[in-house]
Chains A and B, each alone.
Chain A
C-alpha cells in the first residue's frame, strides 16, 4: 500500500468529522420537524411527507452542483469563501441526511402518535407531554433515522467531490480517496480505505444503537 497509514487516519478523521457534523445539523432540523409532522393529526401534511420521502432519493451530484453554484465566487453565497472547504461538504451532506432523519422520524412517531396521545391526554397530560413522550417512545427508530442520515452523509462521494474538490490534507475524505486510489490503480490502498470506511460506519452505528437501547 502506497498510502501511509498516518494519512489514512487523517482522512478517516476528516470523514468522521464532516459526516458527524452533517448528521448533527440534519438532526437539529430533522428531528423536531419529523416529530412535529408525525404527531399532527392525519389531515394535511401530505405534501411535506411526499417531499421528505422523495428527498431520500436526492442525487448527491445534483445537491453538490447546487451548492457549487451557490458557493462559487460568482454565486449568491460566494462571499462566504466556503467552496472547497470541509464546511461546504458539511452543508451539502447535511442536506442529503436531512430527509432521512426527518422522514424516518416522521414515520416512527406517526406509528405511535394516536396511542400515546390517548394515553397521555387521558391521564391528564398536555400536548407538550405528548410530544416529549412520543420522542422518548420513538427513540429506537429515531436511532435508525440518525444511523441512516449518518450513512447517507459518510458514504456519498458526488457532492463531496464537487464542493470539496478532494484536496489532499484539506478536503479529502474516505469516499473521494477511494475513487482517487482506484483511478490510480492503487487497489490495495483503495481496499484499505474502503475497509476503514465500513469500520467507521459500523462503530458509529453501534454507538448509536447502544445509546438508543438505554432505559
Chain B
C-alpha cells in the first residue's frame, strides 16, 4: 500500500504537484499521460528513489521499481535474474532455483550462462521483468515495461503482470499504450503537465472521463 499527500517535486522548468493519491493493497493502477507529464518522476517518488521537495509518502510492504532503462549488469543472464533475490539476502542456489521457472516462461532458459549484454532490447525487457517479479514484492512499480516488445511478448508480459495481480500484489504501470492501460488497469491515473488531472476506474476514465482534457487525450485529439 502507498499513500501520498501534498507531493511536490521541482526540476528546472518542471514541477510535479499531486495533492493526494492512494494505492490500496492489491490494486492494479495504470498511469497515462503525454511525455514530460511527470509519470516517471511520480513513479520514482513512490518508489523512494527520489525524495519529494514537499509532501509525505507512506509505504507499507516491499516496494519494487522497474525502471524503463532495463539496466543489465555485466553478469550472466541467470546472475542478472537472481540479483534482486540476492539483494534481499536469498542464497544464490535458492535464488537460482526460484528464477529458473520464470526464465523458462519468458524464453530465456536456453541462455542462462550467456552474458546479459548479448541480449536484444526485447530480451532485456523480459529479463528485467523476471528480475523484479521473482522478488515477489507487495507493490510493483513499472515504467513502460512492454515498450519496444513485439505483440507476442507484450501478451506474455501482460499475462505475467495479471498473474502477479491475481496473487494479491499491487501494481502501478506507466504506459503510453492506451489500449494496454484500459485492458489491464482497475484504476487509471491521467497526468498532464505535472498534475494529476484525473484518477478514476479505468473503464470509466476511458468511456466517461470527468475532465475535458482526459477526454481529448484518450480520444487522441490532444496536441501537445
By a beta-carbon cutoff of 8 Å, the part of chain A in contact with chain B is: 115-125, 129, 133, 137, 139-140, 215
Contact = CB atoms under 8 A, between A and B. Distances in A.
A115 B66 CA distance: 11
Contact of B65 (A115, A122, A133, A137): A122
Nearest to B83: A123
B-side interface size class? 20 to 34
Interface string B125-160: 000000110010100000000000000000000000
Interface of B: 44, 47-49, 62-67, 69, 71, 73-76, 83-84, 87-88, 131-132, 135, 137
A124 B87 contact: yes
Contacts of B63: 124
A115 B67 CA distance: 9
28 contacts: A115-B67, A115-B71, A116-B71, A116-B73, A117-B49, A118-B44, A118-B49, A118-B65, A118-B71, A119-B73, A120-B87, A121-B47, A121-B48, A121-B49, A121-B65, A122-B47, A122-B49, A122-B64, A122-B66, A122-B67, A123-B88, A123-B131, A123-B132, A124-B84, A124-B135, A129-B87, A215-B75, A215-B76
**Smallest CB-CB A-B distances: 10 pairs:** A122-B65, A123-B84, A115-B71, A125-B87, A119-B71, A118-B67, A121-B49, A123-B87, A137-B74, A115-B69
A115 B64 CA distance: 15
A134 to B, nearest CB: 10
B69 A118 contact: yes
A14 to B, nearest CB: 37
A121 B63 CA distance: 10
A150 to B, nearest CB: 23
A130 B44 CA distance: 16
A176 to B, nearest CB: 40
A138 to B, nearest CB: 9
Contacts of A137: 73-74
Nearest to B79: A215
A71 B221 CA distance: 78
A123 B67 CA distance: 10
A109 to B, nearest CB: 13
Contacts of A119: 67, 69, 71, 73, 83
Contacts of A123: 64-65, 83-84, 87-88, 131-132, 135
A196 B210 CA distance: 80
B75 to A, nearest CB: 7
Contacts of B83: 119, 123
A129 B73 CA distance: 14
Nearest to B49: A121
A180 B63 CA distance: 67
B12 to A, nearest CB: 13
Contacts of B75: 215
A110 to B, nearest CB: 15
Given A115-B69, A118-B49, A124-B135, 10 more contacts: A115-B67, A116-B73, A122-B49, A122-B64, A122-B66, A123-B132, A124-B84, A124-B87, A129-B87, A133-B73
A124 B90 CA distance: 13
Contacts of A139: 74
Given A118-B49, A119-B67, A129-B87, A124 B73 contact: no
Contacts of A140: 74
A8 B135 CA distance: 59
A101 B131 CA distance: 33
Contacts of B74: 137, 139-140
B25 to A, nearest CB: 17
Nearest to A117: B49
Contacts of B137: 124
Nearest to B74: A137
Nearest to A118: B67
Contacts of B48: 121
Nearest to A133: B73
Contacts of A124: 62-64, 84, 87-88, 135, 137
A41 B7 CA distance: 22
